[in-house]
Amino acid sequence: MGMSILDYVLVPLGLGLMVAYHVWLLYMVMRHPTKTVIGINSINRRAWVHTMMEDPSKNGILAVQTLRNNIMSSTLLASTAITLCSLVGMLMTQSSPSSSLTLVVNQKHFSLKSFLILSCFLVAFLMNIQSVRFYNHASILINARRSPLLTPEYVADVVNRASYFWSVGLRAFYFSFPLFLWIFGAVPMFLCCVGLVCMLRLLDVMFHGMVAAEEADEFVGDGRGERALSSSQMPS
């Protein structure tokens, strides 16, 4: 079917809802990290890196194994994304030409939807490849000897960047779900966007305080983590 009035209303509304939610989530992660799962995990990863680098000879194997598990997770998502890219590309190229104007218009709409789905999978692939890259760097740096150019804060930043790329890649998969349902109509697509936003809010927002905000803020981003660690007040 061609584009209907519902496509012009519900599709931008659904995508706008998804984008608005992630803009809000980014604001919360940057301004109030202890109220989000992503922020708390980032703080705890920073504390984990400091713990691993206190005694590399003792904790080195554990650190590398943990990072290797993360590399395998990112590799699996990257492989899945590039496989789905190939399948979508095949569907787009195997469409048979037609002289009917209606069929040509419908084919253009199908190609547009397929291209948007393909874009999501390409973004997921690229983000997970970058995640593997940073995890590989971290697996070397975390066992290196201390130097003025190598601090636990720097290694923690590398690990967190890898995790952020992994998260963005996973969000690209989430965006592909409503775009796929758009093939069956604008209403399923919009309902999928609403359902995804509700589900993601339950997964992203920290409803129970696990870390005191004033303690956790000392580990966020601007070098204050070392001062907090020196006073042995690390989050559990």
* Model confidence pLDDT, tens digit, residues 116-171: 999 999 999 999 999 999 999 999 998 887 677 788 899 999 999 999 999 999 99
Helix (H, G, I), strand (E, B) or coil at 87: helix
Output the pLDDT for position 27.
Answer: 96
- Write out the residue range of the structural domain in which residue 96 sits: 5-228
Position 113: which residue type? K
Task: Please indicate whether residue 150 or residue 214 has the higher confidence score (pLDDT).
Answer: 150
In a domain, 233, yes or no: no
Position 122: which residue type? L
Domain count, the chain: 1
Output the pLDDT for position 161.
Answer: 96
CA dihedral 108, 113, 119, 125 (to 10 degrees): -130
Mean pLDDT over 159-186 rounds to 94
Residue 235 has pLDDT above 50, yes or no: no
In a domain, 103, yes or no: yes
pLDDT single digits (tens) 48-88? 999 998 887 788 889 999 999 999 999 999 999 999 999 99
How far, in Å, are 133, 158, 207 from residue 152 at the CA level? 18, 10, 30
Output the pLDDT for position 79.
Answer: 96
- Given a contact cutoff of 8 angstroms between Cβ atoms, the answer to whether 178 and 184 are in contact is no
pLDDT grade, residue 102 (50/70/90)? Answer: low
* Residues facing residue 147 across a β-bridge: 150
State residue 128 phi and psi, 5-degree precision: -70, -30
Sign of the C-alpha dihedral computed for residues 142, 144, 150 and 151 taken in this order: positive
Output the pLDDT for position 37.
Answer: 94
Q: What is the mean pLDDT of the chain?
A: 83
DSSP letter at 100 equals -
In a domain, 43, yes or no: yes
pLDDT single digits (tens) 103-116? 555 677 888 888 99
Least confident of 133-147, 178-192, 199-213: 199-213
* Residues facing residue 150 across a β-bridge: 147
Strand intervals (E) in the chain: none
In a domain, 76, yes or no: yes
Q: Would you call 42 exposed, middle or buried from its count of C-beta atoms within 10 A (0-12, 13-18, 19+)?
A: buried
In a domain, 234, yes or no: no
